[in-house]
Amino acid sequence: MLAQLTISNFAIVRELEIDFHSGMTVITGETGAGKSIAIDALGLCLGGRAEADMVRTGAARADLCARFSLKDTPAALRWLEENQLEDGHECLLRRVISSDGRSRGFINGTAVPLSQLRELGQLLIQIHGQHAHQLLTKPEHQKFLLDGYANETSLLQEMTARYQLWHQSCRDLAHHQQLSQERAARAELLQYQLKELNEFNPQPGEFEQIDEEYKR
The domain segmentation of the chain, as residue ranges, is 2-132, 152-200
Work out the pLDDT band at 202, boundaries 50, 70, 90.
confident
Q: What average pLDDT does range 70-99 have in this prediction?
A: 91
Q: Pairing mode, if any, of strands 110-112 and 103-107? A: antiparallel
pTM: 0.57
Measured between alpha carbons, how far is 7 from 40 in angstroms, rounded to an integer? Answer: 10
Query: What are the φ/ψ torsions at residue 68 (nearest 5 degrees)?
Result: -120, 145
Work out the pLDDT band at 126, boundaries 50, 70, 90.
confident
pLDDT in tens, 133-170: 566 777 877 888 888 888 888 888 888 889 999 999 99
Distances (CA, A) of 80 to 44, 54, 61, 87, 147: 19, 29, 27, 8, 17
Hey, what CATH topology would domain 2-132 get? Rossmann fold (3.40.50)
